[in-house]
Amino acid sequence: MKLFRIRAVARKELLHIVRDPRSLGMAVAIPMLLLVLFGFALTLDVDRVPLAVWDQSATPESRALVNRFDGSRYFEIRVAVRDDRELERAIDDRRALAALVVPVDFADRLASGRDAPVQLVVDGSDANTATLAMAYARAVAAAHSREIAVAAAPRGAGATVAAPIELRSRVWFNTQLESRNYIIPGLIAVIMMVIAALLTSLTISREWERGTMEQLISTPVRGPELILGKLVPYFAIGLLDVALAVLMGTVVFHVPLRGSLVLLFGMAALFLTGALSIGMLVSIVARNQLLATQMAVVMTFLPSFLLSGFMFAIANMPRPIRVFTYLIPARYFVALLKGIYLKGTGLRILGAEAALLALFSAGVLAAALVRFRKKMTA
């Protein structure tokens, strides 16, 4: 294998990228555009849930409970209703996602020391939001109930009584519980997986379609030299995209980077090698640019988005799907990015993911080299 031949092929591919604005735009502009669009559009935060209130009691006690809900960061009172029909209409036209119903005897039951149940009606068409809204409502109601019990205790016992258990929460790694800090690192992995595979999926198939592959075959350039030469420019562009994505994550989305920048780029280099090799292998097999592009999208976007742990927890998936996720390279890179970004961990903890990612990248690159060598001799 001659280095000058690899350099010559890399120069040829780089000139093609520079002279083709579409390729250059797809290589640099599209990843940044996708990061902005998905970064602002995707969120797992459920704050300010629109709330309708039907206060049948209309007493200071019921208003205190309503104000407790309105004063929390999780609910925002949008409408007050007077009967069941108005309540149902408010939820149907999505003015409210939940409704708080305070019964007529609420204050009387509190005054007599009995339980005072209230009702929460939730729109279950969005199961995730409904589940979180119910959990928030239970927490708000429990805190208000605890305050009432503590305030009422001295009147009956003649002494000040404190709450028996006080829970003080401390959140590590993402103290503000911002979903953006969780999404952006995973989003970088998904976008780079798709773009890298798409870029190299056009390289070999383009040579076949334009009839220039026969000329390359007739040259002294060997198969591995041609493959590596074509990978080098896209590898450099991929690292540039990673640098821009990290910069945007810090400046635009204010995602903290607590780990080593050197480790991040080292893992990104491993990941890009595998992602680019997938596109190259697809291009070798397909020999057609349109087919290669379609195959690259199917093989990268959906698996990376759904099965990498980016959006859905792998532990909650069925066992056969969990086993299949080990074949998704984005799974390892997502775990690495989240560990480096949010926890600042190193290879002592992330060594297994790094090793599996390196093994996958080496295997796909070897498969591309072997497959192309067969095509050269066919």
Helices within the chain (DSSP H only): 3-19, 21-41, 60-71, 84-92, 106-111, 127-157, 179-200, 203-210, 213-218, 223-251, 261-286, 289-307, 319-324, 329-338, 347-377
- Give the start-to-end residue ranges of the domains of the chain: 3-43+178-377, 49-157
Average pLDDT rounded to a whole number, residues 41-52: 81
> Facing residues of 99 across strands?
52, 121
Report pLDDT for 176.
Answer: 74
Tokens of 319: 């066992």
Report pLDDT for 73.
Answer: 83
pLDDT at 155 over 90: no
pLDDT tens-place string over residues 208-248: 777 777 777 777 888 888 889 889 999 999 999 999 999 99
Q: What's the CA dihedral at 247, 252, 255, 259 to 10 degrees?
A: 10
Average pLDDT rounded to a whole number, residues 327-339: 92
CA distances from 42 to 95, 119, 319 (A): 22, 31, 27
| Contact between 181 and 174 (Cβ < 8 Å) | yes
Average pLDDT rounded to a whole number, residues 32-36: 87
> Residue 86 — φ and ψ, nearest 5°?
-65, -40
Average pLDDT, the chain: 85
Report pLDDT for 374.
Answer: 44
Average pLDDT rounded to a whole number, residues 188-199: 88
Average pLDDT rounded to a whole number, residues 260-288: 91
- Local confidence band at 376 (pLDDT 50, 70, 90 cut-offs): very low
Q: At what angle do helices 347-377 and 261-286 cross, to 10 degrees?
A: 20
Report pLDDT for 122.
Answer: 92
CA distances from 156 to 41, 105, 142, 163, 181 (A): 53, 22, 21, 15, 49
pLDDT at 364 over 70: yes
* Topology classification of domain 49-157: abc type-2 transporter like fold (3.40.1710)
Q: What is the pTM of this model?
A: 0.77
